[in-house]
Every structure is written in structure tokens, then in C-alpha cells.
A and B are shown apart, each in its own frame.
Chain A
Amino acid sequence: AQSVTQLGSHVSVSEGALVLLRCNYSSSVPPYLFWYVQYPNQGLQLLLKYTSAATLVKGINGFEAEFKKSETSFHLTKPSAHMSDAAEYFCAVSVFTGGGNKLTFGTGTQLKVEL
């Protein structure tokens, strides 16, 4: 079964510092991987996705992620954190069946950005 694991339920960084949120996946087939962001009392917004093309994926708001098959990882990074980045971030893997496609999410990482 395909799954993702997010290491660190809470991450705190200073404004301007590097953001690194970790995600490892388990999949018997080449995975489609996603990062979503969720602001308080809102739905999920797609930050970026990996669909077996380039291994370095650039997303919105300056975020990027690198797919590393040897490490089964898809970590999310941003060179310089901004206060507006404070939110919850979810890594997800797409699970394809005969019926369709469903997303399996990690448990989330709450990002706090401090002055």
C-alpha cells in the first residue's frame, strides 16, 4: 500500500531562515507526490506536485521539493521563511486503482515562523 510519513509534527523557524519539511513515501510503483498547505479554517491549497517528470519541482510562494528515489523522500524547502508561511503542510501520495485516484495524506507539519 502507498503511504507517506511526515517527520516532525511541529517545526519552528525564524523569519528569513531556511524552511525544511520532511516527507518520506512508501510505494511499490512510481509515485505521484504532492504538497498541500492549509491555513486556519480553510481548505487545502496545492503547493506543488511530482508526476515523474523533473525531480526538482518548483511550486507557488517560493517553495520547491526534490524527489529522491534512493531515499524515498520528497522534502519541501523554501530558502527564506516569511511570516505568511505559517500554516499546516501536508504531504500526500496519489493512489491509483481501477476505479480512480485517491490521495493518501501524512499527518501534517505545523510550521511556525518567528520574528
Chain B
Amino acid sequence: DAGVTQSPTHLIKTRGQQVTLRCSPKSGHDTVSWYQQALGQGPQFIFQYYEEEERQRGNFPDRFSGHQFPNYSSELNVNALLLGDSALYLCASSPDRFGEQFFGPGTRLTVL
């Protein structure tokens, strides 16, 4: 059984560009959450998707948006990239909105 997968593994962008990160949840899971982990910090909650809708959101600007597809996979989009957006982006899936979260390996985003 494949766990949570994320792509790409690493990504380098320049300021002002836009980026899309992808996540496939664990089999049987229908809820996807995204977290940002800056260097030396704990992960910070960005948002959670369930039934293709954003159900709750952390303290992140509108430049951060997402999408969930009918197969439960999800995308995280970040517009107008800033240097401060450089971080490890973690996706977590759970069997429902309130269930235990299983994390993927993350996507390392570097903004130059």
C-alpha cells in the first residue's frame, strides 16, 4: 500500500513566479491537509480539503490556494512567490476530516 506521495521532490523558483505542488493521499483517505515547514521550525497548517472544498484554513495569505480532485488528490498553488516562501511543504492525508494524519515526504521549495 503506497503511502502519501508528493511531487516534485525539489523545486527552485524565482521571486514573483507561481508554483504548483501535488499530493496523492494514502489509499482509502479522502481528506488532505497542507503544512509549511520553514527551516528550523515546526510545520504550520495551511489548509485542509475534504469533498473538494477547503474546510479550514490557517493564517496564510490568499496567494496560497489549493484544489482537491474527485480522486482525492490535491494541489497547492502559491502565486507571486516571495523569498520567505522557501520551505518544505508537507501534505498529510487522513481517512476523514477528524482522523489521524499521515504525512508525505514533502516538497522542498527554494525561492531565489
Contacts and interface: CB of A to CB of B under 8 A. Distances in A.
Interface of A: 36, 41-46, 49, 90, 92, 96-97, 99-108
Interface string B1-44: 00010000000000000000000000000010101000011111
A106 B41 CA distance: 8
Contacts of B72: none
B48 A100 contact: yes
Given A44-B90, A101-B99, A103-B45, 13 more contacts: A41-B108, A43-B90, A43-B105, A46-B100, A90-B42, A100-B48, A100-B55, A101-B48, A101-B94, A101-B98, A101-B101, A103-B92, A108-B41
A108 to B, nearest CB: 5
A97 B56 contact: yes
B66 interface: no
A100 B55 CA distance: 7
Interface residues of B, number: 29
B14 to A, nearest CB: 23
B25 to A, nearest CB: 13
Nearest to A95: B45
Contacts of B55: 99-100
A101 B97 contact: yes
Interface of B: 4, 31, 33, 35, 40-45, 48, 50, 55-56, 58, 90, 92, 94, 97-106, 108
A44 B45 CA distance: 14
Contacts of B98: 96, 100-101
B43 A100 contact: no
B23 to A, nearest CB: 11
A45 to B, nearest CB: 7
Given A43-B103, A99-B48, A100-B55, A90 B97 contact: no
Contacts of A90: 42-43
Contacts of A102: 33, 45, 48, 56, 58
